[in-house]
Amino acid sequence: GAGVSQTPSNKVTEKGKYVELRCDPISGHTALYWYRQSLGQGPEFLIYFQGTGAADDSGLPNDRFFAVRPEGSVSTLKIQRTERGDSAMYLCASSVRFYQETQYFGPGTRLLVL
Amino acid sequence: GNSVTQMEGPVTLSEEAFLTINCTYTATGYPSLFWYVQYPGEGLQLLLKATKADDKGSNKGFEATYRKETTSFHLEKGSVQVSDSAVYFCALKGTGGFKTIFGAGTRLFVKA
């Protein structure tokens, strides 16, 4: 079946603009995670959803970052007033249940803030 | 807090050489431990995992043993291939938690 998909694959924006990054998890997966990966680093946890609710958003760096998952499937990561330091690869992953430890990752969205 | 430290790369080996990538962790309780791999142009994928002390995870000829006494989870392969060239990430998930903590990654180059 289809894996986790993310759109767009690349996003270039200007400092101060608003961006939305989309994640389509594997069908039937109730757990969804967002990570941020800077060049030469490992993924850094941002937020975790179980169903429609954010069970843990402690990794969001500040209040410019927000994520939603209104119907328990597709999720959108929203970044307001982007800064150059937000440039990174944003990864989404899903798993069957929150306690299932195998996460399936999408290909990522590379965000560049000029 | 929980953390993962893995050896810096890049690691360059000739085909059929023995591979070790060191990984140590800091965590309370009994975390689950993972190795993920990222092949060029592809997304992260789980390579192997171990959920309790002395467990050995294995896949595609790679192995790693959960050593609680040394807080380590070193990745090994007896004979690497060119197709193993990738970035390898050690990771842990704490007891009862949702977060997976990743190391910085180790890039492996295998020469024919």
pLDDT in tens, A6-41: 999 999 999 999 999 999 999 999 999 999 999 889
Q: What is the sign of the dihedral through the CA atoms of B50, B56, B62 and B68?
A: positive
B99 contact residues in A (CB cutoff 8 A): 45, 48, 56, 58-59
Looking at the complex, report in whole angstroms how far the Cα of residue A68 sits from the nearest Cα belonging to chain B.
17
Which of B4, B34, B45 lies at the smallest CB-CB distance from A105?
B45
Q: What is the sign of the dihedral through the CA atoms of A36, B62, A101 and A69?
A: positive
What confidence tens digit (pLDDT) does each residue in A57-106 have?
Answer: 999 999 999 999 999 999 999 999 999 999 999 999 999 876 667 889 99
Chain centre to alpha carbon of residue A18: 15
A3 contact residues in B (CB cutoff 8 A): 43
Tell me whether residues A44 and B102 touch, CB distance under 8 A: yes
Residue B49's pLDDT band, with cuts at 50, 70 and 90, is very high
Q: What is the pLDDT of residue A99?
A: 65
Q: What is the mean pLDDT of chain B?
A: 94
B47 close contact with A: CB closer than 8 A: no
Longest dimension (CA), chain A: 39
Q: What is the dihedral of CA A19, A4, A90, A46, to 10 degrees?
A: 100
Cis peptide before B10 (omega within 30 of 0): yes
B51 close contact with A: CB closer than 8 A: yes
Residue A102 exposed, middle or buried by CB count within 10 Å (0-12, 13-18, 19+): exposed
What confidence tens digit (pLDDT) does each residue in A44-61 have?
Answer: 999 999 989 888 899 999
Q: What is the pLDDT of residue A98?
A: 66
8 A C-beta contact, residue B80 and residue B13:
yes
* Amino acid of residue A8: P
- Rounded CA separation B70/B62 (Å): 20
Looking at the complex, report in whole angstroms how far the Cα of residue B33 sits from the nearest Cα belonging to chain A.
10
What are the structure tokens assigned to B104, written together? 């910085």
